[in-house]
Amino acid sequence: MAQNKLRLVSYKPLYQAIGYQFNDQSLLVTALTHRSAKGDHNERLEFLGDSILSYVIAEVLFEKFPRSDEGELTRMRSTLVRGETLTQMANDFGLSEYLILGPGEMKSGGKRRSSILEDAFEAIIGAIYLDSDMVQTKQKILDWYQEKLATIQPGQSQKDSKTQLQEWLQQRKHALPVYEVTQITGQEHNQTFTVSCSVDDLGHKVQAKGTSRRKAEQEAARLVLQQINQAN
């Protein structure tokens, strides 16, 4: 892995926030570097961290809920590793203050963009793994997730927005929602999807954006559920 130039930045507050001090600080710098900036960026570390996080959370849930079926375990894992959760944790660590972005991304508010914060959070997991080992990385994840793992339980609240919306409509014998990609912008490696979600029986139609079609559809479904709850 080529070296990014280490910036004249004190990472001590970040080390304290995440509870880990890097032996090789260049790994941390890479984890915080978005692809819009020059030099090594965090996509490969994000890929690695995403896989490690999913494995650790899956193993913990498997042991914690021996009577839960695959569907319940999958929904609980999705809740713990979904973008909203990762963005919250990234904000708790103050990651936005340390992100390294290109000029265009900086001007457009990239430091507050959920997708960038999510990727940086997962990239830090990958960086910790390369800087230490699986035992230490797993312990860090368990430390960060201690409160969430203590309170999570199987049930309706773990279902994603698309599933909740579909089940709500089916229970009331309404037609299922229709999702349609209305726009795709950006280069192939950095696309933004705009998706519409229509529920004709109820007169609801919303649009939402995401870094993938799946994320945009989930956000659109969440907005429809929000409208339904406000109307009831």
Examine the residue annotation and report whether 122 is marked as an active-site residue of this protein.
Answer: yes
Ramachandran class of 134: left when φ > 0, alpha when ψ lies in -120 to 50, beta otherwise: alpha
Question: From the candidates 46, 50, 105, 131, which is the catalytic residue?
Answer: 50
Q: What is the number of alpha carbons within 13 Å of residue 220 lying toward its C-beta?
A: 28
Other Cβ atoms closer than 10 A to 149 = 16
Residue given tokens 């650790």 in the structure block: 56
8 A C-beta contact, residue 191 and residue 173: no
Strand-strand pairing, 192-199 and 178-185: antiparallel
160 assigned to active site: no
Distance CA 214, CA 191 (A): 13
Which of these is catalytic: 40, 105, 119, 122? 122
Burial of 199 (0-12, 13-18, 19+ CB in 10 A): buried
Residues catalogued as catalytic: 50, 122
